[in-house]
Amino acid sequence: MTIINKHIPTLPVELNCQILEESWRLPLTTTERRDILVALPQVCTSFRWIANRLFLQDVHVVSPAYAAHFLSLLQQQHDPDASPASKCYCQSITFHIYDPDSPLNILQVRLPSSIPAACALEMTLHTLSRDAALAPALRRVALHYTGCSFTHELDEARLVHLPPHVRALELRFATPAPFVQRLRQIYLRRYVLPMSGVRSLRIYGTCPEFVADVRACPAPEL
């Protein structure tokens, strides 16, 4: 008689946590990030618990729908009846601004204001700046733009609603190579409202004039 051992060995919760945390911090594409957001909570109860805490602590907003979901989670955390053990404070938010309906090619370099994800960014920052208690531990905000022009980004004044307790800001533009040089040539200097709380500033994919404009915030550490 053959005896089949139905016991499936499992990894310790601590090791699962470490694996998922390191995976989440990899430089993933927006599609890969979205797939993880959807898939991990469905693996098992343990993964759902780990993923929910990880997604809320190191947040990646990949769509307008997820922005609304994220804010609803913060509201639940802020509920006075919520169990202290279930709370996980948001420390970092990365916004992914791209057009999901258009492939990235040299014929499509859009202004972020025409993309729904940019509206979700503005709504989220405005909500968090209006009610700092929703994310009191938030210290880092990153804006990752794909297939977007940076020439008019500062005109939109999206950063005016940056929560005052944010200390680190990252602006990253991934623009099709044939357009990069032209965008740098046509960029015009802008006035930027000071961001008093920012101390660490990282900017990628723009031009020196853009960097100088954003450095209007006092005493940044580049």
What SS3 string covers the chain? CCCCCCCCCCCCHHHHHHHHHHHHCCCCCHHHHHHHHHHHHHCCHHHHHHHHHHHHHEEEECCHHHHHHHHHHHHHHHCCCCCHHHCCCCCEEEEEECCCCCCCCCCCCECHHHCHHHHHHHHHHHHHHHCHHHCCCCCEEEEEEECECCCCCHHHCHHHHCCCCCCEEEEEEECCHHHHHHHHHHCCCCCCCCCCCCCEEEEECCCHHHHHHHCCCCCCEC
Tell me whether residue 199 is in a domain: yes
Tell me whether residue 143 is in a domain: yes
pLDDT at residue 216, as a whole number: 57
pLDDT at residue 107, as a whole number: 43
- Show the tokens assigned to 62: 């990949």
Tell me whether residue 33 is in a domain: no
Tell me whether residue 219 is in a domain: no
Whether 222 has a pLDDT exceeding 60, the answer reads no
Tell me whether residue 25 is in a domain: no
Tell me whether residue 26 is in a domain: no
Domain that holds residue 129: 58-78+87-214
pLDDT at residue 50, as a whole number: 74
Tell me whether residue 22 is in a domain: no
Pick the more confident residue, 159 or 2.
Answer: 159
Whether 43 has a pLDDT exceeding 80, the answer reads no
Whether 73 has a pLDDT exceeding 50, the answer reads yes
- Percent pLDDT > 70 in the chain is 75
Tens digit of pLDDT for each residue in 111-162?
666 678 888 899 999 999 999 889 999 999 999 998 888 888 887 778 888 8
Tens digit of pLDDT for each residue in 19-38?
777 777 777 777 777 777 77
Mean pLDDT of 188-206: 81
pLDDT at residue 193, as a whole number: 66
- pTM, two decimals, is 0.79
Q: Confidence class of residue 57 from pLDDT cuts 50, 70 and 90?
A: confident
Mean pLDDT of 74-93: 76
Rg (CA), the chain: 20
- Neighbour count for residue 128 (Cβ, 10 Å): 23
Return d(Cα 51, Cα 56) in angstroms, integer. 8
Whether residue 139 contacts residue 113, with contact meaning beta carbons closer than 8 Å, is answered with: no
Whether 217 has a pLDDT exceeding 60, the answer reads no
pLDDT at residue 95, as a whole number: 94
The segment with the largest mean pLDDT, out of 17-26, 28-37, 178-187, 190-199, is 178-187
Nearest alpha carbon to residue 210 among 162, 148, 163, 161: 148
Mean pLDDT of 67-75: 90
Number of structural domains in the chain: 1
Average pLDDT, the chain: 78
Tell me whether residue 5 is in a domain: no
